Structure 1
Amino acid sequence: MAPPACATRRSTSAPWRSRASPIPTTARPSSPRRRRCAETRGKVKREETDMSETKTKQPRKVIITCAITGSIHTPSMSPHLPVTPQEISTAAVEAAEAGASIIHLHARDPETGVPDQSVEAYANILPVIKQQTGAVLNITTGGSTTMTTEERLAPALHYAPEVASLNMGSMNFGLYPMLNRFKAFKHDWEEPYLEGSKHRIFKNTFEDIEMILSRCADNGTRFEVECYDIGHLYTCAHFVDRGLLKPPFFIQSVFGILGGIGQHPEDILHMKRTADRLFGDDYQWSVLGAGAKQMQIAAQSVMLGGNLRVGLEDSLWLGRGTLAQSNADQVAFAKKMVEDLGMAVATPDEAREMLALKGGHDVNF
């Protein structure tokens, strides 16, 4: 837009007047024409600035993953933890509608809530979610610490999802401290399951990881690479060097599991700095905070340029002392936080582009 003619008039200010010396308001009354010219100049400048910002300033897109039920918490800990196929499917659809780009899935026995990694357990979950939402569906290969690697892999191998989780190292996985907070259990398996984490190892050897990567290679499934400690990033880099993991990598840093890295802000920074050094621009970083610090850690990730994961798998809480009523509640909270920080939540298709996924049309469900 061309400026008005009056905008090109030469200044009539005295040549000797200093820039620091203001023109007295009584020196010359402002005419209506001069006021109109000034207003027009201001309007032109504002419009040009607004147009420039519209063209150049787009908010960064943040992927929200929602982990619906997991295998950490037991049914007695919260009445809102999804257990049956219908509860899990409904919770997943609600989370997607609230803004989750990716839905991370485990299955459970519908009667007792025991983690169930059979192919059949997912048969009444995956198609239902896919029919009702376009979200990316991510099947765990972590299962639970009580399962063999073959058992854990079976659903991802059978259904060939766009994304599957992949744990980057064997570790102690301590759930037993939750026995200090929860005393009454509805099912016989819950207390021994938690107590048994004192002596169980969550087994993810180099051979296990190589087997999962190799057997899923022909399915086009990409991985949510779960790193519970700094050494897991170096294990990931090892498989990158061998050509078994290909960019862009989706690195999910996990903070707050007993046996893994802690939740101090310096821990989050150390993970991010190490991943940056190892993978440069070839990865998308996401975090999950286990327990009460879920949202604090998510906020730190967003401010550091990362993505986030929420969901009742990782935390049963929405605020201090307040149980989340649903997975969707946590997603909605996270979405508002992302937007309040000046960023935008990625749609499922934007997440697919960011992670170079094969698309929901090329899965076996």
Structure 2
Amino acid sequence: MENASTRPLVAGLVALPETAGSALYGMVDVLGSAGSLWNELVGEEAGRQLIEPHVVSPTTEPFRCGNGIPVSPDLSVADDPHCDIVIVPEIWLAPSDALDGRHDDVKRWVRSRYEAGAAVYSACSGAILLASTGLLDGREATSHWGYIDLFRERFPAVRFRPEPNLVIADGEGRLVTAGGTTSWHDLALHIVARHCGPGEAMRIAKVYLLKWHGEGQLPFAALVRRQPHADAAIRRVEEWLTNHFAQSAAVGGAVEASGLAERTLKRRFKAATGVALIDYVQNLRIEEAKRLLEEDAAAVDEIAAEVGYDNAAFFRRLFKRLTGLNPGEYRRMFRPIASA
């Protein structure tokens, strides 16, 4: 029997007659592939499914959604199914349609799942259904720019940001909205990164050739990549730095460990790895800082000191340059969310 740490996370994708089928089934495919598809394609050891997507509707009766695409729901909101993750994909709505008097049972279920601890996500116009639950009141949210008047007039309590290709996390990171017509791409990658790790999000993007928007690839990219080379002295330095990068005089220690003159070491290090020695040290430090931000609740200044920076302001500037996000934004984006 699977325990909470090994079972796939259950993702409930809300499907209504107004739902865009491409977004719905695109997310089913992408999320359901996390943890396993890359391994199969590249011949690695078999992985395991990390997210188990289910289509959730008012009933389990088959129906047709936008453009006549057939939907066979797996779960009914009437049964109050457990979901760790709830997703409202894009829905086809007129710029003045606030879903008044429709799908109240779905709205109640989405709200109850959030109150039970689930993470709730929307893509594009799916934010209109979230807004109608009241969950976005007093929070920042985004959707397609075409709904700016609708949000201003019908949901004035929502701090609406219609910038394209934007992902906004609010509510301690458990309420996330994505804007733009193809924002389900960004949202799917965000969900995989948040719940399965940035590395898995990068693999999924490569498998499906998904285009990155908004914050781009920087927050997901590994800064440290071992390059194959035949320089044994430089390999020793790389190993030494793996364990001592946080030392205040890491470069000096690397010189000593190499047995080479400093100028010679720096020249050979750049030739072998393609990265300057000081940049390699910085990358190791920021990579460890990313891990701590994902896993540790320590203050940013404490993390800066732990990875080797006495000057926290410098650490913040460097972190933003290398990842595209400041440390607080990175933590909100990637800190694991407790399962509902």
TM-score by length of 1: 0.30
Q: Which structure: greater helix fraction?
A: 2
Q: Larger relative CO (CA 8 A, sep 6+): 1 or 2?
A: 1
Q: TM-score, normalised by structure 2?
A: 0.31
Query: Which has the larger Rg?
Result: 1
